Protein backbone atom coordinates (compact mmCIF):
# COMPACT_ATOMS: atom_id res chain seq x y z
CA UNK A 1 0.00 0.00 0.00
CA UNK A 2 1.26 3.46 -0.91
CA UNK A 3 1.67 5.89 1.96
CA UNK A 4 0.21 9.26 1.01
CA UNK A 5 2.29 12.14 2.37
CA UNK A 6 0.21 14.53 4.48
CA UNK A 7 -0.48 18.11 3.46
CA UNK A 8 0.73 20.41 6.17
CA UNK A 9 -1.49 23.20 7.51
CA UNK A 10 -1.54 26.33 5.40
CA UNK A 11 1.03 29.05 5.93
CA UNK A 12 3.39 31.43 4.23
CA UNK A 13 6.41 29.18 3.92
CA UNK A 14 6.94 25.55 3.06
CA UNK A 15 10.25 23.80 3.52
CA UNK A 16 11.93 21.94 0.66
CA UNK A 17 10.99 18.65 2.34
CA UNK A 18 7.35 19.73 2.56
CA UNK A 19 7.42 20.66 -1.13
CA UNK A 20 8.96 17.26 -1.99
CA UNK A 21 6.19 15.54 -0.03
CA UNK A 22 3.60 17.64 -1.80
CA UNK A 23 5.08 16.74 -5.20
CA UNK A 24 4.96 13.06 -4.27
CA UNK A 25 1.39 13.43 -3.06
CA UNK A 26 0.41 15.11 -6.34
CA UNK A 27 1.75 12.11 -8.27
CA UNK A 28 -0.20 9.71 -6.04
CA UNK A 29 -3.32 11.87 -6.45
CA UNK A 30 -2.75 11.96 -10.23
CA UNK A 31 -2.68 8.17 -10.34
CA UNK A 32 -5.91 8.01 -8.34
CA UNK A 33 -7.53 10.52 -10.70
CA UNK A 34 -6.45 8.38 -13.67
CA UNK A 35 -8.12 5.34 -12.08
CA UNK A 36 -11.43 7.22 -12.04
CA UNK A 37 -10.92 8.59 -15.56
CA UNK A 38 -10.45 12.18 -14.43
CA UNK A 39 -7.69 13.09 -16.86
CA UNK A 40 -8.11 16.84 -16.33
CA UNK A 41 -7.27 16.63 -12.63
CA UNK A 42 -4.60 13.97 -13.20
CA UNK A 43 -2.68 16.16 -15.64
CA UNK A 44 -2.95 19.22 -13.42
CA UNK A 45 -1.60 17.23 -10.45
CA UNK A 46 1.39 16.07 -12.53
CA UNK A 47 2.10 19.69 -13.44
CA UNK A 48 1.73 20.62 -9.76
CA UNK A 49 4.48 18.12 -8.88
CA UNK A 50 6.82 19.83 -11.36
CA UNK A 51 5.99 23.27 -9.99
CA UNK A 52 6.84 22.20 -6.43
CA UNK A 53 10.36 21.28 -7.59
CA UNK A 54 10.78 24.67 -9.32
CA UNK A 55 9.61 26.40 -6.15
CA UNK A 56 12.34 24.64 -4.16
CA UNK A 57 14.91 26.21 -6.48
CA UNK A 58 13.24 29.61 -6.29
CA UNK A 59 13.02 29.66 -2.52
CA UNK A 60 16.65 28.54 -2.16
CA UNK A 61 17.64 31.51 -4.30
CA UNK A 62 15.23 34.08 -2.89
CA UNK A 63 13.44 34.44 -6.23
CA UNK A 64 9.86 35.55 -6.78
CA UNK A 65 7.71 32.52 -7.58
CA UNK A 66 4.07 33.33 -7.04
CA UNK A 67 2.72 33.43 -10.60
CA UNK A 68 2.37 31.18 -13.64
CA UNK A 69 4.80 33.25 -15.73
CA UNK A 70 7.44 33.09 -12.99
CA UNK A 71 7.19 29.29 -12.96
CA UNK A 72 7.92 29.27 -16.69
CA UNK A 73 10.90 31.61 -16.15
CA UNK A 74 12.25 29.34 -13.40
CA UNK A 75 12.05 26.24 -15.56
CA UNK A 76 13.73 27.87 -18.54
CA UNK A 77 16.49 29.37 -16.41
CA UNK A 78 17.23 26.18 -14.52
CA UNK A 79 17.61 24.18 -17.74
CA UNK A 80 20.09 26.74 -19.08
CA UNK A 81 21.98 27.07 -15.78
CA UNK A 82 22.21 23.28 -15.27
CA UNK A 83 22.70 21.85 -18.77
CA UNK A 84 23.56 18.41 -17.40
CA UNK A 85 19.85 18.05 -16.52
CA UNK A 86 18.69 19.33 -19.92
CA UNK A 87 18.08 15.84 -21.27
CA UNK A 88 15.53 14.51 -23.72
CA UNK A 89 13.40 12.73 -21.10
CA UNK A 90 13.38 15.73 -18.74
CA UNK A 91 12.56 18.20 -21.53
CA UNK A 92 9.79 15.97 -22.81
CA UNK A 93 8.35 15.49 -19.32
CA UNK A 94 8.39 19.24 -18.62
CA UNK A 95 6.83 20.08 -21.98
CA UNK A 96 4.21 17.36 -21.67
CA UNK A 97 3.40 18.22 -18.05
CA UNK A 98 2.73 21.80 -19.10
CA UNK A 99 1.04 21.13 -22.45
CA UNK A 100 -0.81 17.84 -21.95
CA UNK A 101 -1.20 18.29 -18.19
CA UNK A 102 -1.65 21.91 -17.16
CA UNK A 103 -3.01 23.37 -20.41
CA UNK A 104 -5.22 20.33 -20.89
CA UNK A 105 -6.88 21.19 -17.58
CA UNK A 106 -8.28 24.28 -19.34
CA UNK A 107 -8.53 23.07 -22.93
CA UNK A 108 -9.58 19.40 -22.55
CA UNK A 109 -7.62 18.16 -25.57
CA UNK A 110 -5.54 15.24 -24.21
CA UNK A 111 -6.74 11.66 -24.01
CA UNK A 112 -6.61 9.54 -20.88
CA UNK A 113 -3.66 7.58 -22.35
CA UNK A 114 -1.77 10.82 -23.09
CA UNK A 115 -2.29 12.10 -19.55
CA UNK A 116 -1.26 8.76 -18.10
CA UNK A 117 1.97 9.05 -20.07
CA UNK A 118 2.50 12.55 -18.62
CA UNK A 119 2.08 11.27 -15.07
CA UNK A 120 4.58 8.47 -15.72
CA UNK A 121 7.09 10.87 -17.32
CA UNK A 122 6.88 13.30 -14.42
CA UNK A 123 7.21 10.55 -11.84
CA UNK A 124 10.28 9.26 -13.66
CA UNK A 125 12.05 12.66 -13.75
CA UNK A 126 11.14 13.88 -10.25
CA UNK A 127 14.55 12.77 -8.86
CA UNK A 128 16.33 14.78 -11.58
CA UNK A 129 14.07 17.78 -10.97
CA UNK A 130 14.80 17.55 -7.27
CA UNK A 131 18.56 17.34 -7.88
CA UNK A 132 18.43 20.34 -10.23
CA UNK A 133 16.28 22.37 -7.84
CA UNK A 134 18.52 21.51 -4.89
CA UNK A 135 21.81 22.19 -6.69
CA UNK A 136 23.95 25.03 -5.46
CA UNK A 137 23.70 28.18 -7.55
CA UNK A 138 26.61 28.43 -9.95
CA UNK A 139 28.17 31.24 -11.92
CA UNK A 140 25.92 32.51 -14.67
CA UNK A 141 26.28 35.12 -17.40
CA UNK A 142 23.20 36.55 -19.08
CA UNK A 143 23.59 35.92 -22.80
CA UNK A 144 20.15 36.78 -24.20
CA UNK A 145 17.24 39.14 -23.72
CA UNK A 146 15.11 36.15 -22.75
CA UNK A 147 17.48 35.24 -19.90
CA UNK A 148 17.71 38.90 -18.86
CA UNK A 149 13.94 39.27 -18.76
CA UNK A 150 13.48 36.05 -16.78
CA UNK A 151 16.11 37.00 -14.21
CA UNK A 152 14.67 40.52 -13.90
CA UNK A 153 11.30 39.01 -13.02
CA UNK A 154 12.71 36.33 -10.71
CA UNK A 155 15.07 38.65 -8.81
CA UNK A 156 13.14 41.90 -8.99
CA UNK A 157 16.33 43.56 -10.24
CA UNK A 158 15.22 45.41 -13.38
CA UNK A 159 18.70 46.85 -13.92
CA UNK A 160 20.11 43.51 -15.14
CA UNK A 161 21.54 43.56 -18.66
CA UNK A 162 22.80 41.07 -21.22
CA UNK A 163 26.44 40.41 -20.29
CA UNK A 164 25.89 40.76 -16.54
CA UNK A 165 27.47 37.94 -14.56
CA UNK A 166 26.87 36.56 -11.09
CA UNK A 167 29.11 34.08 -9.28
CA UNK A 168 26.01 32.95 -7.37
CA UNK A 169 23.71 32.49 -10.35
CA UNK A 170 21.77 35.65 -9.52
CA UNK A 171 20.67 34.07 -6.27
CA UNK A 172 19.52 36.59 -3.71
CA UNK A 173 20.34 34.23 -0.84
CA UNK A 174 23.84 33.00 -1.69
CA UNK A 175 27.07 34.92 -1.57
CA UNK A 176 27.42 36.64 1.82
CA UNK A 177 27.23 40.43 1.68
CA UNK A 178 25.85 40.34 -1.85
CA UNK A 179 22.40 39.98 -3.30
CA UNK A 180 23.53 37.66 -6.10
CA UNK A 181 23.49 40.28 -8.83
CA UNK A 182 26.89 41.77 -8.14
CA UNK A 183 25.39 44.72 -6.26
CA UNK A 184 26.44 45.33 -2.70
CA UNK A 185 23.68 44.47 -0.25
CA UNK A 186 22.52 46.61 2.61
CA UNK A 187 21.69 45.19 6.03
CA UNK A 188 18.20 44.15 4.83
CA UNK A 189 19.69 42.04 2.05
CA UNK A 190 18.32 44.35 -0.67
CA UNK A 191 20.35 46.35 -3.13
CA UNK A 192 22.28 49.18 -1.56
CA UNK A 193 20.67 52.57 -2.19
CA UNK A 194 22.79 54.93 -4.30
Coil, strand or helix: which one is 77?
Answer: helix
Q: Which residues contact 194 (CB under 8 A, 6 or more apart)?
A: none
Weakest mean pLDDT among 8-17, 36-45, 122-131: 8-17
Predicted confidence (pLDDT) at residue 107 exceeds the cutoff of 50:
yes
Predicted confidence (pLDDT) at residue 159 exceeds the cutoff of 60:
yes
Weakest mean pLDDT among 133-137, 144-148, 173-177: 173-177
- Of 163, 167, 161, 160, nearest to 139 by C-alpha is 167
CA 42, CA 96: separation in Å to the nearest integer?
13
Rg (CA), the chain: 18
Predicted confidence (pLDDT) at residue 11 exceeds the cutoff of 70:
no
Predicted confidence (pLDDT) at residue 165 exceeds the cutoff of 90:
yes
Which residue ranges form the domains of the chain, and what is each CATH number? 16-134 (1.20.120.330), 137-194 (no CATH)
Weakest mean pLDDT among 87-101, 126-140, 178-192: 178-192
Give pLDDT, residue 178. 46
Give pLDDT, residue 68. 82
- For 80-92, give the DSSP string: HH-GGG--HHHHH
pLDDT, tens digit, 9 for 90 and up, residues 23-40: 999 999 999 999 999 999
Weakest mean pLDDT among 68-77, 158-167, 179-188: 179-188
pLDDT band at 193 (very low <50, low <70, confident <90, very high): very low
Share of the chain above pLDDT 70, in %: 84
- Of 118, 154, 119, 157, nearest to 137 by C-alpha is 154
Predicted confidence (pLDDT) at residue 192 exceeds the cutoff of 60:
no
Predicted confidence (pLDDT) at residue 190 exceeds the cutoff of 50:
no
Q: What is the pTM of this model?
A: 0.82
Mean pLDDT of all residues in 141-162:
96
Amino acid sequence: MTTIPPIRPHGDHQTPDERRQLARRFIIDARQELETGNRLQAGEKAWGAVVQMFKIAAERRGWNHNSHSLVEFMGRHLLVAYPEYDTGPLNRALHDAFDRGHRNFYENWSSLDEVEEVVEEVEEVLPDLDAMASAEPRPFTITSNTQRDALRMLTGNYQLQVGDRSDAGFSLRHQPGRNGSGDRADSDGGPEKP
